[in-house]
Structure 1
Amino acid sequence: MSSPTLIVCYSNTGTSRRVADLLATQFQWQRGEICERRSRAGVAGMLRCVGDSLLRRHPAIRYEGPDPRGFETVVLIAPIWVSRLAGPMRSFVRDRASSLKRVAVIAVMGGKGATNAFAEIDQILGRPPILSTSFTARNVDDGSYASGLEAFGAAVRDHAQKQDAVRPTDLSPSAV
């Protein structure tokens, strides 16, 4: 029998990791993390972030955590780079698409690009996420995202009774 929900996070700066940690604490869900095989430190690392996003590259990653095949729902949490999904999360979704039953997505961004990331995940999986929302890094830093995150988590938990996908604007009118 599958467990209900797993959180899979990629975080370069730690902001997405803070979101994943709070969601895991709020709902007692297990958590896994995507790690890169190559550092993104310094200017060269930042340029790789930009290049990976613009060219939609799939950087080499490793995943540390429970096997997603054992979960009914996987919540993906990743940053937005240059208005697109962070490359390491792109790699994870591509590599594990066949083992992800239901996917919900949280994008952490400077100001825009979340809907692009949601559409990219839809394209890779061949189906839309069951639920998606976004938070700005500023909201994470000041803590104002916590109630929205809790509402998102409750919606994911309660999704088992629903069949329709919930669009980003249904949960977060600021999803851009």
Structure 2
Amino acid sequence: MEDVLVVCYSFTGISRLAAQLLCSHHGWPMGEVADADTRDTLRCVLDSLLRRRPRILYRGPDPGAFRTVVLVAPIWMYRLARPMRSFVAQRREQLRRVAVIATMNSGGATNAFAEVAHLLGQPPVANAAFLQRELEDGTGTGRLLAFGDALQSSSTVVPPARAAERTAPAA
């Protein structure tokens, strides 16, 4: 069984950037979740509010072949992005040990961590949240790579990151 697989969903590219940084630094493979259908703003809003699970496509290695799967997804309306919600629900039996990275503009990461825990029937072994600007300007890179280092070096449960939820300063 392989060690770590990173699975991301990214519409704007921010979550993909985080996933690619983890993969390139640690030599981990990556899988991607994509929308199977065209999306629009109203549909995304309704899907997030109603916690719908849209049809998705997954391209990547079998998650069941890995000890740990790191999910990297954005927060939409203070909730887990709907395509990642679908992925977790569809693949829950293959996801034995999960860590979660949330990317966001302002908040909602704790909601996403709780939703993943609910869908899996167990909490993630580790979680972390990153503001979009931290990933764009590189200020979050060290923390992101340290998160990956902790997963790679640990064969036991990794404690959640201290900054599980961050709030952007008021403008």
1:118–1:129 Cα contact (<8 Å) kept: yes
Q: CA deviation at 1:175?
A: 4.2
* Residue in 1 that maps onto 2:108: 113
1:168–1:175 Cα contact (<8 Å) kept: no
1:154 aligns with 2:141: no
The letter for the 2-side match of 1:97 is R
2:77–2:108 Cα contact (<8 Å) kept: yes
Give SS of 1:9's match.
Answer: strand
- Counterpart CA distance in 1 for 2:135 and 2:121 is 30
Q: CA deviation at 1:173?
A: 5.6
Counting matched residue pairs gives 167
Q: CA deviation at 1:167?
A: 2.5
TM-score by length of 2: 0.93
1:166 aligns with 2:145: no
* Residue in 1 that maps onto 2:8: 9
The letter for the 2-side match of 1:155 is A
Measured against aligned partners, the alpha-carbon deviations of 1:48-105 in whole angstroms (never above 9, x if no partner) come to 2211111000010010000001000000000000000000000000000011110000
TM-score by length of 1: 0.91
- 1:19-34 residue pairs with structure 2 within 5 A? 19-34=18-33
**Aligned Cα RMSD in Å?**
1.3
* Residue in 1 that maps onto 2:53: 58
Structure 1 residues 173, 81: CA separation in 2 closer, same or farther (over 3 Å shift)?
closer
- Counterpart CA distance in 1 for 2:124 and 2:78 is 18
Give SS of 1:138's match.
Answer: helix
Give SS of 1:111's match.
Answer: coil
2:131–2:166 Cα contact (<8 Å) kept: no
1:93 aligns with 2:88: yes
Give the one of 77, 81, 85 matched to 1:82.
77
- Counterpart CA distance in 2 for 1:21 and 1:138 is 16
2:78–2:107 Cα contact (<8 Å) kept: yes
Give SS of 1:21's match.
Answer: helix
- Counterpart CA distance in 2 for 1:36 and 1:47 is 15
The letter for the 2-side match of 1:166 is P
- Percent identity, aligned pairs only, is 49
2:108–2:165 Cα contact (<8 Å) kept: no
* Residue in 1 that maps onto 2:129: 134
More displaced 10-residue stretch of structure 1: 137-146 or 108-117: 137-146
- Counterpart CA distance in 2 for 1:173 and 1:129 is 12
Measured against aligned partners, the alpha-carbon deviations of 1:142-175 in whole angstroms (never above 9, x if no partner) come to 1111101111001111220x24x52343xx2644
